[in-house]
Homo-oligomer: A and B are copies of this chain.
Amino acid sequence: MNVLLLHPGAMGSSLGAALVDRGHQVHWVTAGRSEATLQRAHADGLIAAADLTDGLHGADIVLSVCPPEFATDVAAKVTQAGFSGIYLDANAISPDTARRVEELTANAGATMVDGGIIGPPIRDAARNLLYLSGDADGVATASDLFAGTNVETITLDAPVGGASATKMAFAGWTKGSSALLLAVRAMAEAEGVTAGLDHAWQTMLPDLPDQLRRAAIGSAPKAWRFEAEMREIAATFDGVGLPAGFHEAAADVYGRLAGCRDSTDVDPDDVIERLTS
């Protein structure tokens, strides 16, 4: 198939490389992208297009993989350019945002497929899950696209919004609980009671210090893009009458860690300190 990938970040480019390996043509649009993205896309065998019109030429499917705050804008630009094929939005967005993307694509005559990715970029034999919902033919095509790759596609019996809600619920726990644990520790630091908390954890919850360390190391380098994802989850909770506060607070926590972006040498103590400084 002829695929336009918007955009080849860490996750997107890993998907693009896998599709190239399976014989698909994967295009991307260079305009406005960084040198790091250029090099990554080149290394992964993606075909550079100068602009969106070029990139959409002959495309069967557009694969949108971008930070959640750009999902609607990417869809608007693609549909304004007259695309009428299959639009697979695989972003960490609320069901309401997914439905807005569906509206945009429907107006242009394109077919929205809602996708939710759970797991890491599929580098070095890593695997992930891609939940799909929406138009049955579109979903089937999207699922076929990833056949033979390390992406396991799961078709949900649900309209657009279902795959996104699945992602929101999964990440709502994993990233929400990590933010909570980091914040709890920062509170104990600020109150000068880490000795007491350490004693209580050792006595009652001996796995928690290691969980805290993993939360700090795992989250901090990616926190810059978790903030907007947390706000999508907060909106999802609000949309069904549940309190948005958990993930508004998590957005705040990750926002304070944005300076750790792409750090490969995270010091958990430094992460905690950033939360209260």
Contact = CB atoms under 8 A, between A and B. Distances in A.
Contact of A197 (B170, B180, B205, B252): B170
A162 B194 CA distance: 10
A242 B187 contact: yes
Interface stretch (A53-61, A73-81, A150-158): A150-158
A200 B201 CA distance: 29
The main secondary structure of chain A at its interface with chain B is helix
A129 B154 CA distance: 47
A86 B168 CA distance: 50
Contacts of A192: 158, 162, 165
A10 to B, nearest CB: 19
Given A176-B184, A195-B156, A129 B200 contact: yes
Contacts of A168: 187, 191
Interface stretch (A25-33, A39-47, A233-241): A233-241
B172 A242 contact: no
Interface stretch (A14-22, A104-112, A221-229, A243-251): A243-251
